[in-house]
Chains A and B, each alone.
Chain A
């Protein structure tokens, strides 16, 4: 299947279609009736006030919420046409295909090399030459290679916060996902490191589908192609208010609530 991205180029990143999605923690409904088409090889930003279910939604896309006891899902999320909640889907394969970058950089307390080689190794790649190639390629793609190529054996914890986050991105790239989820990836970083990550995201969007949750509206406006605005309903369930191209959402929002939020009237 050939998928085309926004610019008409071929794209290997997956497309995601969310249908009538409801999500519950026990008896509390965290997300209500979400319908969303996420394009391949583009950056989709998810914005909204705290507690509106942005992160919960993101974590559904690689089924990280499976780990939460008592959570329940209704509806479907299709990745390239296949429902990820289907019984035949192996969650381990899904997560390999849908990588995740977390809010706080979380490199393993091992060497830089082993951080990147960890995923491929666990998926059965043992050949040293091959692993070295993967590590180099992943670090290059994450724009970190030049800074760390002489100290691959050192602990990853010795890197700066921004470098650690790019290492985490390289770690995700090492297992060749189609989709990369980012949960406020820059909230713990300084402005310079943030800009570097944003540049990196633009480069990666040529080959990967990126979905980013962010509190920072300038960031959403700067990097994303499409933007989804989530908000809490009176019973605190999160729902999708408006979804469209980023330029439209930020210049000509259709919903009053979106306008109020992006102009900083609340949130």
Chain B
């Protein structure tokens, strides 16, 4: 390989990079395309507006599971985002570089690597049993918060650390307090990265099944309060695929799930863009 010229190496590298990119894109298109093509024909108004009725042929629609999913994500984010951003600000801006901080970081990294079903068991033991929230949206959301906090914190901290030190210096040199510097300069500049953190967490929250099964139960009714159980779309897909012979409905549910993910991501990006512009005074 020593005699390969720089130009040839360049060509090979470019081929590798392009190849990787194309394969990734193809996989994405094939998976999404397959699910949409297989699933969309079974999606109709009735499917979207009735609750699952059960049975071997998976009768009924998915209304309650869509509601449960959105409900669960909403409650999770309301709890997760403030705690996650707060912790990240502490770690990135305030925490001294000492043993305690290192222990906290080590704890967060360890938590990030623990399988979700363990969080599910913990949620079942603490929220469902000890705190008597039973199988409920609240138990599920609290479990998801525990599961997702490490991701939220580390991704947000990276976003904060990526904000140039020169902005911090400039703000402090103007006689601002540390908090003014963080809230007015650092946070607005870090918003794109924080949005990435939120989207990652939403993605994982939507994908979770096992840890929610043991904390939310599998009720097919629309939850009318935080303390009622529910069934998320992912869990419903699993249920349809494994317990019934309604593969078409499983695919249809999956198609709806993918569309919801795309919509939530687009909405999050749009909101963040507006928020950032407002904080930067460009709106």
Task: Tell me the A residues contacting B by CB distance below 8 Å.
Answer: 62, 64, 67, 69, 92-97, 99-100, 102, 104, 106-111, 113-114, 118-119, 122-123, 153, 155, 168, 171-172, 175
Contact = CB atoms under 8 A, between A and B. Distances in A.
A114 B281 contact: yes
9 contacts: A64-B172, A96-B174, A106-B164, A106-B167, A111-B281, A113-B281, A119-B175, A122-B174, A122-B175
A93 B175 contact: yes
Nearest to B177: A92
A16 to B, nearest CB: 17
B172 A111 contact: no
Given A64-B169, A102-B169, A102-B170, A175 B282 contact: no
B11 interface: no
Contacts of A97: 175
B280 to A, nearest CB: 4
A111 B172 CA distance: 19
A77 to B, nearest CB: 16
B167 A108 contact: yes
Given A64-B173, A175-B174, 4 more contacts: A64-B169, A106-B167, A114-B281, A119-B176
Interface of B: 96-97, 164, 166-167, 169-177, 180, 184-185, 188-189, 280-282
Contact of B175 (A96, A153, A155, A168): A96
A118 B174 contact: yes
A92 B280 contact: no
B167 A122 contact: no
A211 to B, nearest CB: 14
Contacts of A62: 173
Nearest to B176: A122
B177 A104 contact: no
A109 B280 contact: yes
B172 A69 contact: no
A100 B172 CA distance: 10
Contact of B170 (A92, A106, A111, A153): A106
Residue of B164, B184, B189, B281 ringed by the most chain A CB atoms within 10 A: B281
A114 B167 CA distance: 14
B91 to A, nearest CB: 16
A118 B185 CA distance: 10
Contacts of B170: 102, 106-108, 168, 171
A168 B167 CA distance: 11
A-B pairs with the 4 shortest C-beta distances?
A96-B175, A106-B166, A100-B173, A114-B281
A111 B188 CA distance: 13
B173 A95 contact: yes
A92 B177 CA distance: 6
B161 to A, nearest CB: 15
A173 B176 CA distance: 15
Given A99-B173, A102-B169, A119-B174, A155 B164 contact: no
B185 A108 contact: yes
B282 A155 contact: yes
A173 to B, nearest CB: 11
Contacts of A100: 169, 173
Contact of B97 (A69, A104, A172): A69
Nearest to B172: A95
A54 to B, nearest CB: 17
B181 to A, nearest CB: 9
A163 to B, nearest CB: 16
Contacts of B171: 108, 118
B180 A122 contact: yes
A67 B176 CA distance: 14
B282 A92 contact: no
Given A93-B175, A96-B175, A118-B174, A102 B166 contact: yes
Given A104-B166, A106-B166, A168-B170, A95 B281 contact: no
Given A69-B96, A114-B280, A153-B282, A106 B169 contact: yes
Contacts of A122: 174-177, 180, 184
Q: Which of A92, A113, A172 has the most CB of B within 10 A?
A: A92
Nearest to A174: B174
B174 A110 contact: no
B10 to A, nearest CB: 32
| Central interface residue in A64, A92, A122, by most chain B CB within 10 Å | A122
